Amino acid sequence: MYAMRPPRHLRNLNPLVINCVVNKQLAGMESVSKVTIARSKVGAGEEFSPVAEVQGEEVNTDSFGITAAGDTTGKLTVHLTMTYTAPTDGYCYQYNCIAEGTDKDRNPTTKFTTVTVDGIDDGKCCDLSEQLNNATQAIEMLEVNMEETSKKLAENSDVILDGGKKIHDLQARIKGLYKIVSIHPLFYVPSAVYKETKIYTLSRRTMNFDLEKMNNFCKEMGGYLAEIDDAEEFEFVASKIATITRYPVYIGTNDVEEEGKYVHYNSKKPLLDGLKWKAGNPDNVGDEPGEDCMIIKPDGLNDNACNQSSRFICEIPIV
């Protein structure tokens, strides 16, 4: 295998630089005729598409905003460096460094390695296989729930009205999950299933927060702005957030109607006592109307102004 710098997981900086360095001895190659950098969007089922290549001293690029320099004539090492002046925001990408040539027996051979690049400013690319499994598990549980509800409808005509509404709700949640699994432009693929009852999905990018607007985004996924009901749920949600961003994230809890009386935006239920708050909070500091919304971080809940730019997290029930 050959060396590649930088390491195998990058942030999507501007400019983004990927440097493929092939050590022929370490790679077990007698010669290298071509080095290619190819790109694919993580989880989208796309083929890798070449964006830069070098043969000898001739370098070619095939994408807007990309420049490249390289040489395959070196005795021990060859290289191709790609600079992307406008990296795409919002998605995770994988870049393959591909070396083509001959092995020690002068048979044709191809070696490659992959670097994964974040599509967001401060997060981490998801472990897609694990998180897609989370989504698949949630979808399967929803489908089982819907099948059981359909059976009850067939057996008892008295529950047709309520049961029909439940089936409609379940269908909406399944549809929302399929959107997320298909690499939704606004949401990450979801968390693991929490207590066989719900999952959570975090927005990909920061937005100026608005309770009603963000709750409507969550509704499109079959859910609502997250509601923290106990300490265990707090730890689960906070740990999910910590895998993606170090910054605080909005949930649906607020005291807009009455100062100091926190309720969840969707259910209107009160926030329970005894939850973990960040030291010194809530403090309701700032200009009028003060801090009437709530953010969450691993170090605790915190009241916050309702119009600041941040991510938000949705809760999607599966029962």
Q: What is the pLDDT of residue 194?
A: 87
What is the rounded distance in angstroms from the CA atom of residue 97 to the CA atom of residue 1? Answer: 11
Both 225 and 104 in one domain: the answer is: no
Question: Considering the domain boundaries, does residue 46 fall inside one?
Answer: yes
- Pick the last residue of a domain from 117, 134, 159: 117
Least confident of 75-79, 208-212, 253-257: 75-79
C-alpha dist (Å) from residue 217 to 80, 104, 181, 250, 297: 42, 57, 16, 13, 21
CA dihedral 227, 230, 233, 238 (to 10 degrees): 80
Q: What residue numbers bound the domain in which 217 lies? A: 184-317
| Total number of domains constituting the chain | 2
Can you tell me the mean pLDDT for 212-228?
91
Both 76 and 195 in one domain: the answer is: no
Sign, Cα dihedral of 280, 282, 283, 287? positive
Q: What is the pLDDT of residue 5?
A: 40
Q: What is the pLDDT of residue 296?
A: 95
Both 69 and 191 in one domain: the answer is: no
- Pick the last residue of a domain from 71, 87, 117: 117
Q: Which of 219, 46, 202, 191 is nearest to 132 (CA)?
A: 191
Helix (H, G, I), strand (E, B), or coil: what is residue 117? strand
- Pick the last residue of a domain from 74, 99, 117: 117
Least confident of 10-24, 98-112, 167-181: 167-181
Q: Between 42 and 6, name the one with better pLDDT.
A: 42
Token pair 């079959």: residue: 222
Domain containing 306 — which CATH number?
3.10.100.10
The answer on pLDDT for 295 being more than 60 is yes
Q: Which residues contact 278 (CB under 8 A, 6 or more apart)?
A: 297, 299, 300, 301, 302
pLDDT in tens, 112-129: 777 766 554 444 444 444
What is the rounded distance in angstroms from the CA atom of residue 4 to the CA atom of residue 6? Answer: 6
pLDDT in tens, 132-146: 556 556 666 666 666
Helix (H, G, I), strand (E, B), or coil: what is residue 217? helix
Q: What proportion of the chain, given as a percentage, has pLDDT over 90?
A: 29
